[in-house]
Amino acid sequence: MRLLVAEDCGFIGSNFIRYMLKKYLDYEVVNLDKFTYVVNPADFKNIEANLNYSSIKSDRCDSVIVNEIMKKADKVVHFVAESHVDRSIDDGSIFVRGNVLGTSVLLQSALANKIKKFSNLSTDKVYRSTKEGSFTETDNLNPSSPYP
C-alpha cells in the first residue's frame, strides 16, 4: 500500500506519519510538502531513517508534480497546509491558494488517477463552533476565516 500524505510536516502530520509507519509495516508513506515555516526538523528525527518513508519537497498547487506522485499512490491523506489563524486574517490569499487551490489540484489528480480513498483533514474553523453537539458531519460548511 502506498500512502501519499500531502502537506503534513507540522506537528500533527509528522505524528500521523510516525503512527502509520509503526502500525502498518507494509505501507510506503510518501510525504509531499513545501517545508515552510511550520516545519520543525526535530519532528522528523526518527522518520527519515525509515526505509518505507520518502519525502518530496514541492507545492501541492503544482499539478504536474502532484499528478506524477498521485500515479503511484493508493490512498491520500491531505492535511491543512497553512497554519496560524491570525496570519489568515491579516492576509488570506496565501491560505486560499494553498488550502483551496492546493486541495483542488490534489482532488482533480486523485480523480484522474482513480484514487479510491482521499481523506481531507481540516480544523474546527470549517464548521465554526467547537462546542460539542454544535455541528454534525452532514451540516453545511460555515468557515469563519480563510484559514481552513
Cβ contacts of 111 within 8 Å, gap of 6 or more: none
Residue 124: the pLDDT is: 63
Residue 67: the pLDDT is: 97
Q: Which of 145 and 1 is assigned the larger pLDDT?
A: 1
Residue 137: the pLDDT is: 72
Largest Cα–Cα separation, the chain: 43
Residue 147 has pLDDT above 60, yes or no: no
11-63, pLDDT tens digit by residue? Answer: 788 889 999 999 999 999 999 988 877 777 778 878 989 999 999 999 899 99
Find cell 481552513 and name the residue. 148
Task: Name residue 75's beta-bridge partners.
Answer: 3, 117
Residue 144: the pLDDT is: 66
Query: Which residue, 40, 16, 41, is CA-closest to 29?
Result: 16
What are all long-range contacts of 100-108, with beta carbons under 8 Å and residues at least 24 apart? 101/61, 102/6, 102/7, 102/59, 102/60, 102/61, 103/60, 103/78, 105/60, 105/61, 105/62, 105/63, 105/66, 106/6, 106/60, 106/66, 106/70, 106/76, 106/78, 108/63
The CATH label, of 3.40.718.10, 3.90.25.10, 3.40.50.720, 3.30.70.20, for the domain at 2-126 is 3.40.50.720
Residue 35: the pLDDT is: 80
65-119, pLDDT tens digit by residue? Answer: 999 999 999 999 998 766 666 676 777 777 777 778 888 999 999 999 999 999 9
Residue 148: the pLDDT is: 54
The pTM for the full model equals: 0.82
